[in-house]
């Protein structure tokens, strides 16, 4: 079993986050986690080793670690370089930032990361922006993937710290992913959380562009926007439209001491068993597709 969606909350992540905190502490990498009741991450190597121990404890083979603020790609790169057989590095990028092009080139090149993560609602850009096209073109040149967060977006750590989250949800439309995916058919696109409330649009995107994948991560609490929808029904629709080969298991695990979210995995296994899916289908979702997208 492999996990395609874990956040790497490094010390630099908290340092970057502290720029928005009014009473920013002197040592954000220690003091902000303490405020949240979380364990400070320590060095990148320390956090990588803790993730390794956590994966081993739960029987998880490999995991995608996401640098969860622009500019933190070096932290995930250090973890992935330390344990390349276990970790795949993803990084968040804001295509509208002045240094976006150089950061993306370095991330895919020198740092050997495997996916660029786009959050259009967070950073306020349209998916048909030429700067998004430039990121995707660089991913294509390096044989990398592109992760695009669509639908409802809620950043728990910002809420807990009382920071504003001025997101424009209109910009996170999976149909925009389909349009750019069709222009770059060799690039794997990943839409997390089944589209995070935009399930119909995510399925339309997957039906339109065969290089669009859906990740199954998080509690999928967005189902409350759809009366009567259950996780089993979500999986049924996704399997009917995208097929087992384009569903990629993830948990959205992030901080310690909570660690890897076993309950998310258990709920997804239960949903797939409820549907009577084959062992082959479950093997593809929980590991095979990850291995195909991110071979060692």
pLDDT surpasses 90 at 156: no
- pLDDT category of residue 164 using cuts at 50, 70 and 90: confident
Mean pLDDT (whole number) for 15-35: 88
- pLDDT category of residue 24 using cuts at 50, 70 and 90: confident
The Cα angle at residue 106 between residues 101 and 107, in degrees rounded to 5: 100
253: three-class secondary structure by DSSP = strand
The whole-number pLDDT of residue 25 equals: 85
Mean pLDDT (whole number) for 189-193: 97
The whole-number pLDDT of residue 160 equals: 81
Place of tokens 């967005």: 222
The whole-number pLDDT of residue 19 equals: 86
- pLDDT category of residue 22 using cuts at 50, 70 and 90: confident
Predicted TM-score of the model (pTM): 0.95
pLDDT, the chain, mean? 95
Structural domain count of the chain: 1
pLDDT surpasses 90 at 192: yes
The whole-number pLDDT of residue 211 equals: 98
Mean pLDDT (whole number) for 97-110: 96
The whole-number pLDDT of residue 18 equals: 87
- pLDDT category of residue 158 using cuts at 50, 70 and 90: confident
Instruction: Mark 258-294 as b/e (b = at least 16 C-beta within 10 Å).
Output: ebbbeebbebbbebbeeeebeeebbebbbbbbbeebb
DSSP 227: T
Helix, strand, coil percent values for the chain (each to nearest 5):
50, 10, 40
Domain span including residue 47: 3-293
Mean pLDDT (whole number) for 163-179: 92
Extract the tokens encoding 138.
């660089």
CATH of the domain at 189: 3.20.20.140
Mean pLDDT (whole number) for 70-82: 96
The whole-number pLDDT of residue 23 equals: 80
Mean pLDDT (whole number) for 153-166: 82
Mean pLDDT (whole number) for 87-93: 98
| pLDDT tens string 200-245 | 999 999 999 999 999 999 889 999 999 999 999 999 999 999 999 9
Residues with Cβ within 8 Å of 80's Cβ and at least 6 positions away in sequence, in order, are 65, 87, 88, 89, 112, 113
Q: pLDDT exceeding 70 applies to what percent of the chain?
A: 100
């Amino acid at each position: 079993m492999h996990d395609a969606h874990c956040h790497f909350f490094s010390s630099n992540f908290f340092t970057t986050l502290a720029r928005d905190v009014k009473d920013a502490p002197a040592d954000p990498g220690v003091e902000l986690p303490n405020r949240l009741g979380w364990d400070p991450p320590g060095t990148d190597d320390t956090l990588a080793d803790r993730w390794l121990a956590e994966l081993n404890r739960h029987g998880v083979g490999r995991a995608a670690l996401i640098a969860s603020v622009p500019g933190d790609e070096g932290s995930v790169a250090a973890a992935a370089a330390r344990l390349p057989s276990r970790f795949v590095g993803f990084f968040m990028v804001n295509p509208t930032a002045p240094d976006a092009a150089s950061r993306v080139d370095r991330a895919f090149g020198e740092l050997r990361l495997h996916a660029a993560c786009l959050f259009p609602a967070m950073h306020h850009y349209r998916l048909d922006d030429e700067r998004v096209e430039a990121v995707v073109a660089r991913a294509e040149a390096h044989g990398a993937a592109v992760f695009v967060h669509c639908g409802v977006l809620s950043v728990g750590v910002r809420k807990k710290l009382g920071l504003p989250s001025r997101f424009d949800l209109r910009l996170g439309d999976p149909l925009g992913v389909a349009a750019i995916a069709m222009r770059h058919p060799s690039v794997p696109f990943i839409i997390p959380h089944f589209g995070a409330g935009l399930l119909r649009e995510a399925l339309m995107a997957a039906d339109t562009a065969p290089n669009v994948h859906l990740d199954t991560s998080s509690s999928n609490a967005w189902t409350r926007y759809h009366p009567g929808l259950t996780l089993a029904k979500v999986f049924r629709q996704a399997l009917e439209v995208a097929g087992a080969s384009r569903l990629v298991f993830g948990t959205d695990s992030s901080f310690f001491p909570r660690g890897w979210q076993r309950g998310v995995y258990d709920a997804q296994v239960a949903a797939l068993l409820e549907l009577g899916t084959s062992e082959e289908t479950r093997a593809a979702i929980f590991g095979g597709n990850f291995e195909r997208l991110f071979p060692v």
